[in-house]
A and B are shown apart, each in its own frame.
Chain A
């Protein structure tokens, strides 16, 4: 993988693609099961948690300049313990790539390509992604620059157009005997934004990491705003009990939009067409992060990266045989995300703390060495 530079704007678009696309179709249902009509407040709280988490990850990368997350693990915990702890992250990202590809294929197969074999859809997606990832970080970011604006426009279109069907009674009463559930709901909401950790893999490629902060925060704030708005609109259009029964509430929302004239008759298809390249960004970033972690773990050379990327085809195809049905796939994602939440929400703050102490100690040492 080539070592190159990424502009601040590219960091922003990459944040949009990585954070927004993966669970955009189904996150509302998961939240409604916990927080009922207040699901949108849970999403708002989840967004705030993500902002805090993003600040932590950014700070961690600043504390360890020139290093990405796997290297930070090794630097702070040593070669043995660092590698041992890194396994958790590798497994999380690896399983997440496999399962999210399955979800992607299922959605495309249900709504767009009903006759095309699922394996063909996923293999084609992964092959394209591998081609991009092999070319390095720059190609991923360039791709995100093109795709992210279209994805955002489509989502905004759905939100605006569905406003006609909104019924404020659906979200009332607000926070009535439901505060604890709303707080509980903030955790899966946070889990759906775990893509924000990508910065810990890419910050070292930015020319001035300290100036990237603003762009990174804006980049992750955009998908959070959209997710919250989308959840809010889903709750306004559908009754909470109805959202509980939906597999893909965002697609149901786009299907509920209709005009008297036959304009935009199948908005959900437009949504999926735009979503396909957006998923490319998300999976590419995840794949890149996973390959980087494995490379650091096994201390591999540059030339092995390509072969490693192609190896992903096997587990992804196998996932289609391991997961029997769409409900089981979504259950797997939720379970994997719990694991991911622990990795990102608990492990990373601990590493930041260790890095901070280490840095202070080193500075102290340096001062002692300088002073006679």
Chain B
């Protein structure tokens, strides 16, 4: 009997070895980036050079047979070609050896899940999204609405909420096609660019999938970074302005800086102004801290916002200044005034410009009202976008220069 039990245990142990979910790492196609374009992918008016694959030939593989409806999107995934990235020291990164180290695969259809599965019929690797770094959406598609296309990216368990989301000025696939000079993959460049928002306030950092969806759910207006590309470079500057779910236009890089001040999401950057004593000289203030306080005021049943900004920084550069003239306390006071006035005027101009051009509350004044004056908010909730266009904002700026650098 004991022997029989032992045999049974051993047999059971044999059955327990292995794993249903075993998947060899080399069979996984690690998707690093996704670009989503409107279909047809070739923008109207753009001609295709003879060297490129002709649209008709492309369609042969890219357009899939679909169950319902008609193709609406072109989804491109970026998969690293691991063989090309291996066996090199970290100092040998870049394009010099074999050109692109990734494969950009485009599929056309109307369901992202179906497109993803269709791609599995064109490559031997199984697309795997756990390490997805960035999603790029073309501006033409973003203008039609984001909510319609983001469902798959939230529903699927492989996706992550912190995946970087950005809007391309033009074709989104072009961004993934970039072969960067330092990094191996364009998706990694996209994912790492927001980290530079601590030194450049023209880059938006709160821009992931989760935050965008949260704003859409709450019917808030929001910004997503604008990206553009050359053959080997990606630039993130400025932002796409979203009114609820749809993109309505672009905010300039300088507007993005002031929006960050007003929203309280400023991480670091700079501002330049003319020297009050010398029209030719330019002073650069490196901003190390920007804190804001917004107080809503109701006057004649209309909302008004008092914005107090407290900015700290240090003088980073003083070009064309008079030789041998030292900066003293009096100069500092004058410079402070110049910066205070400049920031105040620019903030107010940015608010006005966004109000007039887009009517999108990217400053999140609505959240201030909703959280601080819920009773009043209830009365204006439905007509907020109409009210927002005429909202007055009074900006008060307090600048403190903490340092002047190594020289006076």
Contacts and interface: CB of A to CB of B under 8 A. Distances in A.
Interface of A: 110-117, 120, 169, 172-173, 176-177, 238-239, 241-242, 245, 252, 255-258, 260, 265-266
Interface stretch (B70-78, B213-221, B243-251): B213-221
Interface residues of B, number: 21
B157 A111 contact: yes
B157 A110 contact: yes
A110 B375 CA distance: 42
B144 interface: no
Interface stretch (B61-69, B85-93, B350-358, B366-374): B366-374
B340 to A, nearest CB: 28
B217 A242 contact: yes
A130 to B, nearest CB: 15
Given A110-B157, A116-B21, A172-B370, A241 B162 contact: no
A113 to B, nearest CB: 5
Contacts of B214: 238-239, 242
A110 B195 CA distance: 32
Interface string B127-156: 000110000000000000000000000000
A68 B15 CA distance: 40
B371 A173 contact: yes
B210 interface: yes
Interface in B3-36: 19-21
Contacts of B375: 176
Contact of B217 (A245, A260, A265): A245
A115 B245 CA distance: 36
A113 B21 CA distance: 6
Contacts of A260: 195
Contacts of B367: 169
Contacts of A239: 214, 217-218
Nearest to A251: B157
Contacts of B218: 239, 241-242
A238 B217 CA distance: 10
B161 interface: yes
A89 to B, nearest CB: 35
A112 B19 CA distance: 12
Contacts of A115: 20-21
B217 A256 contact: no
A265 B218 CA distance: 28
A142 to B, nearest CB: 22
Contact of B371 (A169, A238, A245, A252): A169
